[in-house]
Structure 1
Amino acid sequence: MIHHNLLLILALFFIMAMLYMLSQRLKISYPIFLVMGGLGISFIPGLPHLNVDPDLVFLIFLPPLLFEAAWYSSWHQLWKWRRPVLSLGFGLVLFTSLAIAYFSVHIIPGFTLALGFLLGGIISPPDAVAATSVLKGMEVPKRGTTILEGESLVNDAASLTVFRFAVTAVLTSQFVIQQAVIDFLVAAVMGVFVGVVIGHILYLILRYWIKASSITTPITLTAPYLMYIVAEQFHWSGVLAVVSGGLFLSFRSSDFLNYHTRLQTQEVWATVGFLLNGFVFILIGLELPVIVHGLEGYALDEAIYYALMISAMVIVIRIILVYISSWVPRLLSKRIRETEKSPGLKLPFIIGWAGMRGVVSLASALAIPLTLDDKLTAFPHRNLILFITFVVILVTLVFQGLTLPLFIRWLKVEEVDEYIPEEEQIEAIRIELGKRAIQYLDTNYAVEMSQYETISRIKEQLMRSVTASESTGNEELKKQALSTVRGLYRKIMLELISLRRDGLREMQHAGKCDDEVLRLMESNLDLEEARLNKK
C-alpha cells in the first residue's frame, strides 16, 4: 500500500507542476488553478483516494509554511502597521468565530454553540499565499499588502486557539470563558518565548559553530519543526513559536549566511514552499467528493445551502470588520489621525475582499477528531463541518480570487502613503553604495589604480572584464601580468562586495528602505560574488 500511495503522491506533484505552468500561461493565480485541477482529477474513474492522517496535517504542513512566511516578512513594515495587523489578526478571527457560531446554530438543526465556535475558528483565518499570489503584479498600495501578509502571521495562532478550545468543549462538554482567555494568553506569550529562545540558540550555532555551509540549509529546514514541536509539547502556541523564531532568524540572517548559503537556502525554501502549498491546494479539490459522499443525515442541496449562507456571512463580516478596524481608531484617536494618512474607502474594501481561505482552514478541518473521548461515539456533525469548510474555501478562493483583480483595476486604488517606488529605492541604494565603493578605492588602492589600467576602470565601472594584455608586449609577461591583475581585480571586487553588503546591513537596521528591496540588492551581490568565485 505504501508504494501505491507514494506513486499517487509523486503523480500529484507532477500534475501540480503542469497545472502551475498552465496557470502562468493563462495568468490565473495558481492556488485557484490547483484547486480546480484537483477537483477535476477527483472525478477520474478508478482513482484511489488519498487518505490524510489528521494528526499529521498540522505537523507536516504548518511549520514550514509559517516559517517561510515569517522569513520573508518585513519586520519594519510589520511594526509600522502593527495596529491594523493585530486588530485583524486577533480581533477579526474572534469576531468571525463568534458571529459564525451563533449564525450556524440558528440555521443548522442540532448544531451546538461549541460546534459553531469550532466551525468559526476553522474558516476565520484568510490565506496569505492565495492573496499574495492573486495580488502579484497588481498595483496595490504597500500598506494593503503589508497588512494582509502580517495578518496571516498572527491570525493562524488566534484561529487555531479557538479551534483547540472548541474541540475541547465538544469532547468534554465544558467551556469556561475566563479560563479560556487565561490559557490563550499563556499559550501566546510562552509560544513567542519558545520561538525566540530556540531562534537565539540556532543563531549562535549557525554563526559561531557551523563552518560547513552545506549544513546551514538543513538546519533552517528543521528549525520550524523544532520550534513547533517544543511549544506544542507544553501545550503552548506552536504557531507563534514558529512565527517569532522565523522573524528573529530572518532579521539576523546576514550574520550567519554567506552568498552561497543564502542562494542555496532561497532556492530550497522556494521549492519546499511551492510543493507544500501546491499539494494542499490540490488536496482541497481532491477531498471534496470524498467529503460529499461522507455526508450522513443531510441532503446535498441542504448542505450546499448551509455552506453558501455561511460563505456569504464570512465575506460580509470580513469587509465590515476591515472598515471598522480602519476607521474607528481614526475617529477615536487624534494621534492616529495626525500620524497616519486616511486609508480611504477603496483600500479597506480590497483588503476585505482579499480574505481568501486556504491552507490553515483545510488543516484545521482535517484535524477534527474522528470520535469523542470514549473512542466509540462519532464526532458530531464532523462531515458537515468538513463540507462547509471546503465550500467556503472554494467560494472565497475561486470567486473572490478571480474577481479581486477586476476590482483592483476598476477601483484604481492609489498609494495612500508617502512611499518611494521600488525603482527609486534601488537607484538610491546603488548611488549610496557606489559612493562608498569609490571612497574605499581612493583610500586603499590609489597606487594600484595608477599602475594598472584595468584596476583604474573599476572606479568608473565596477563590472568590467579584466584585460591586462595591453600592459606588456612579452607573451610570458602578458600571462604573468594577466594573472596578477586578475587576482588583484578579484580581491578588490570581493572587498567592494563586502563593503556594499555592510552598507545594506546598516540600511536594514536604520529602516531606511523596504526589506524586500534590500533583499533584492543583497541577492544581486550574492550572484556577483558567486560569479567572481567561479573564476
Structure 2
Amino acid sequence: MAFYAILLVRKKWKRGKIMEGVFVVLIILIGIVISILVNNHFKLIPLPMIFIAVGIGLSFLPPFRNFTFDPNMFIFMIIAPLLYNEAQSASRYWIGRGAVNIFSLSIALVIVTVILVGFSVNTIFPMIPLALAFAMASVVTPTDASAVSAFAHPNPKYQVPFTILQNESLFNDAAGFVMFDLSLLMFVKGNFSIVEGAESFLLEFIGGLILGAIVGAVFHVLRSFLISLDDDSPIVMLVLELVVPFLVYFIAEEANLSGILAVVAAGLVQGVENDKLQLTASEVQLVRDNVWIILEEAMSGAIFMLLGLTLPSIIGKIIQTSSGLIVILVSVAAFIYIFKLLIRVLWTRYLVWMHLDSGNRWKDSLLMGVSGASGTISLSLAFLFPESVNQNALTNRDTLIFIVAVIILISLTVAAIMVPKMTKNETKRKDKSFAQWNREMIMVTMNELRKQPENHTEAQIVVDVLSQQLHQHAVTNIRKLKSLYKAAHATEVDAITKLHEENKITDDEFKYYQEFLSLSLFTVSNNIFKNIMLRIRFGIHIGRLNRDIKSVQDMMLTSPLIAEQYYWKKEFELHGEDLAPIEEIGFNAVMKQLRQNRRDAATTTRELHQVQKYYRERHRRIGMKSPDPIILYETFLSAFHQEFLFLQDQLTNKQLTVETASQLQKQIIYDELAYIKNSASYTATYR
C-alpha cells in the first residue's frame, strides 16, 4: 500500500509540474498576443519594448515569481530556429555581392568593437575585469535588423543599407557568440593567448559553416528526392525542415564548433533550394511560409517577454545590494552604447562598400550605425552569463544582464526615433494606400458582376460576399444595427398593411406574414439563447409538417435565419398560398428605404450593409431559384479574374506600384484559396 501511495504522489507531482509548465507557456503566448494587439494601435512604441513591459506585468503573477529558465535550452529551442529561418529567407544574390561587406561588418567590426569597447570599459570602470568587459562587448555586437526594419519607412533610396544590415545580422550573431565564448574562457583561465584565441575563433567559425552546409545539403537532396517521388506532402516536408536547425545545432555543439554558424549555413543552403523550387511544391511553400511567420513572431516575442519576466527580480537584487548601483550600471550601459555607435558609424563610413552612391555618405553611415541596434541575440547571450561570474557587486550575473538590457532598450529607443525620420520619403507624391486600392478593386469587380444579364442569383451572391470585404475592419455598432432592422421592419409592415387594406392579400396571409416578420426581427438579434430556442421550435414544427425525424435533425443543425424562411415557405404552401409575391413587395419597400439611408449617409456603413445583405439573402431563398453550384463556381472565378484584370490595367497605366500590386495579388490568391476550401458551404448557405 505504501508503495502505491508513493507512486500516486509521484504521478500527481509529475502531472502538476507538467501542467504548471504548460500553463506558463500558455500565459507567455497570451502575453505575446496582447503585445501585438497593443502595437497595432500604438505604432510609436517599438514592439520589443511592449513585449518587455507585458513581461514585467506578468512577472507579478504567482507562476512567474522568481522565474528562471535554462539559457542553453533557450538558445537551442528558440534562437537556432529563428536564425535558420532568417538565413533561408536572405537574398543569396546580395550575400554574394556583399561578401566583402559581410566580412567587414560581421567579423572585422565585431573583433575591433569587442577589443576597443572592452579596453575602454576596463579603463574607465576598473572594477570590471577586462575579460568580462570583452564579454559584455561581445554580447551587444550582434544586430537585430528585423526589429529595426519595422521602424523604417518604405523608401527605395535606403534599400542597399538595409540589405547590408540584414546580411550582416546573419553572420555577426555567430561572431558575437564565438567572441563571447572566448571572453568567458579568458575570464575562467585568467590568461589569454592571441594565437590560441585566433585558432579557436577560426575553427569554430569555419568549422561551423562547413558542418552546417554539409547537413543542409543532405536534407536538400532528401527533400528533392521526395518531391521527385511525389511524396512532398506538407506534413512530411515541414517536419523535415523543422528538424534541421535543432539537429545541426546539436551536432555542431557536440563537435565544439559554432552551432549558430552551422544553423546559418544550413539555412542558406535551404534558401538555395527554395529558389530552385519556383512553382513546384507550391502548397508546401505556402504552408511553410505561414508556419515560419507564426513561429518567428512567437519566438521573437518570447525572447523579450522572458527579459521582462526576469527584470523585476534582477532589479530587486541590485537595489538590495546598493541603491546607488543602478545609476552606475546605467552609466556603463550608456557609455558602451555611445562608444559602440561611434565605432560603427566611422567603420561604415570608410570601410563599407555601399554598391550605389546615395549622394549623402555620412547620412547612410549614421543610419547604419543607429540601425545596428541590439536585440534578440544580445538578450540570449546575456542570459548565458554563468552563475560563477560574481567578482563584486558590479560584476555578477544579474548586473551584467541588467547592463545588456539597458543597452538594448537604449538602442531600440534611438532606432525607433531616428530611423523613421531618416528614411522618410521626401517626395511630395501621395500614393493611394493598399486599403484604398483594395477597396477600388473590389468596387470595380462588383460593378462588373452587376452588369451580367444572366445568372442574377449567383452574381448577387458573389457581390454580397465581396462587399463583406469592404467592411471587414469596421466595428459593428449594435445599437445602430438594431435601429436599422427596426426601421426596415416597420417599413415592411406598412407595405404589407397597405396590401391588406387594398384587399390584395387575405386575412390569413396578413396574419401569418406579420408573425413571420416578428420572428425575423427576433431572429436577427443574434442572441445565443434565442438561437437555440428557435432551432428547437422550427425543428419541432418541421417534424410535425413532414413527420420525418431526419427533417427535424436537419432543422436543428440549420441557422434559424434559414430555418425560419424555409419553415414559413412550407407553411404558406400547406395553406395553398404563395409567400414569394408578398415577400417581394415587402423586400422592394425595405430596399428602397435602405437605399435612401445610404444616400443620406456620407459613406456606406457596415451596419447598413449587414441589413441589406440579410434582406437580399431572404429574398433569394423565398422568391428566387436556388443557386446552381457550377454557375456559382464560375461566377467566383470570373470575379477573381476581374480583379486580376484590374491590377493589370492599373500597372499598364502606371497608376499602381509593383509593391502594392504584389500585396493585392497576394490578397486575391488568399481569397481564391479561402473560396476553394469553403466552396461547398456557399451553395448550402445561399440555397
TM-score w.r.t. the length of structure 2 is 0.57
Give how far 1:54 is off. 2.2
Distance of 1:255 and 1:186 partners within structure 2: 31
Q: 1:229 aligns with which of 247, 250, 256?
A: 250
Secondary structure of the residue that 1:135 maps to in structure 2? Answer: coil
Distance of 1:523 and 1:225 partners within structure 2: 32
Cα-to-partner distance string for 1:425-446 (whole Å, 9 max, x where unaligned): xxxxxxxxxxxxxxxxxxxxxx
Runs of 4+ off more than 6 Å: 375-379, 516-526, 531-535
CA contact (8 A) 2:226 2:232 kept: no
2:187 corresponds to: 170
Secondary structure of the residue that 2:151 maps to in structure 1? Answer: helix
Name the CA shift for 1:407/1:529 in 2 (closer, same or farther; >3 Å).
closer
2:260 is the counterpart of 1:244: no
Give how far 1:202 is off. 0.5
2:41 is the counterpart of 1:25: yes
CA contact (8 A) 2:31 2:55 kept: no
Give how far 1:370 is off. 1.6
Name the CA shift for 1:328/1:168 in 2 (closer, same or farther; >3 Å).
closer
Percent identity reads 23
Give how far 1:43 is off. 5.1
Distance of 1:8 and 1:329 partners within structure 2: 45
Aligned length: 434
2:387 is the counterpart of 1:370: yes
Cα-to-partner distance string for 1:309-362 (whole Å, 9 max, x where unaligned): 4334323433443333333567xxxxx99x866652212111111122111111
Secondary structure of the residue that 2:318 maps to in structure 1? Answer: coil
Distance of 1:185 and 1:169 partners within structure 2: 17
Which amino acid in structure 2 is aligned with residue 315 of structure 1?
I
Name the CA shift for 1:186/1:379 in 2 (closer, same or farther; >3 Å).
farther
2:407 is the counterpart of 1:384: no
Secondary structure of the residue that 2:423 maps to in structure 1? Answer: helix
Name the CA shift for 1:138/1:46 in 2 (closer, same or farther; >3 Å).
farther
Name the CA shift for 1:320/1:370 in 2 (closer, same or farther; >3 Å).
closer
Q: 2:338 aligns with which of 312, 315, 323?
A: 315
Give how far 1:526 is off. 7.5
2:139 corresponds to: 122
TM-score w.r.t. the length of structure 1 is 0.72
Which amino acid in structure 1 is aligned with residue 409 of structure 2?
L
Name the CA shift for 1:382/1:180 in 2 (closer, same or farther; >3 Å).
same
Which has the larger displacement, 89-98 or 185-194? 89-98
2:116 corresponds to: 99
Structure 2 unaligned blocks of 5 or more: 1-16, 428-433, 435-627, 642-658, 680-687
1:76 corresponds to: 93
Give how far 1:384 is off. 1.8
Give how far 1:247 is off. 1.3
Distance of 1:32 and 1:134 partners within structure 2: 13
How do residues 136-151 of structure 1 correspond to structure 2 at under 5 angstroms?
Answer: 137=154, 141-151=158-168
Which amino acid in structure 2 is aligned with residue 401 of structure 1?
A
Cα-to-partner distance string for 1:122-178 (whole Å, 9 max, x where unaligned): 122121231122226466611111011111101111110111011111222232111
Distance of 1:84 and 1:265 partners within structure 2: 30
Q: 1:261 aligns with which of 264, 280, 284?
A: 284
CA contact (8 A) 2:110 2:175 kept: yes
CA contact (8 A) 1:96 1:314 kept: no
2:311 is the counterpart of 1:293: no
CA contact (8 A) 1:260 1:526 kept: no
Structure 1 unaligned blocks of 5 or more: 331-335, 415-422, 424-478, 494-515
2:30 corresponds to: 14
2:240 is the counterpart of 1:219: yes
Distance of 2:406 and 2:333 partners within structure 1: 9
Distance of 1:319 and 1:31 partners within structure 2: 24
Distance of 1:115 and 1:131 partners within structure 2: 28
CA contact (8 A) 1:356 1:400 kept: yes
CA contact (8 A) 1:128 1:152 kept: yes
Q: 2:176 aligns with which of 134, 153, 159?
A: 159
CA contact (8 A) 1:88 1:151 kept: yes
CA contact (8 A) 1:356 1:401 kept: no
Name the CA shift for 1:397/1:54 in 2 (closer, same or farther; >3 Å).
same
Which amino acid in structure 2 is aligned with residue 183 of structure 1?
S
CA contact (8 A) 1:78 1:146 kept: no
Cα-to-partner distance string for 1:227-257 (whole Å, 9 max, x where unaligned): 1111111111111111111112112225456
Secondary structure of the residue that 1:69 maps to in structure 2? Answer: helix
Secondary structure of the residue that 1:252 maps to in structure 2? Answer: helix
Which amino acid in structure 1 is aligned with residue 78 of structure 2?
F
2:104 is the counterpart of 1:87: yes
Distance of 1:134 and 1:175 partners within structure 2: 41
Which amino acid in structure 1 is aligned with residue 125 of structure 2?
I
2:10 is the counterpart of 1:4: no
CA contact (8 A) 1:356 1:393 kept: yes
2:409 corresponds to: 394
Name the CA shift for 1:115/1:296 in 2 (closer, same or farther; >3 Å).
farther
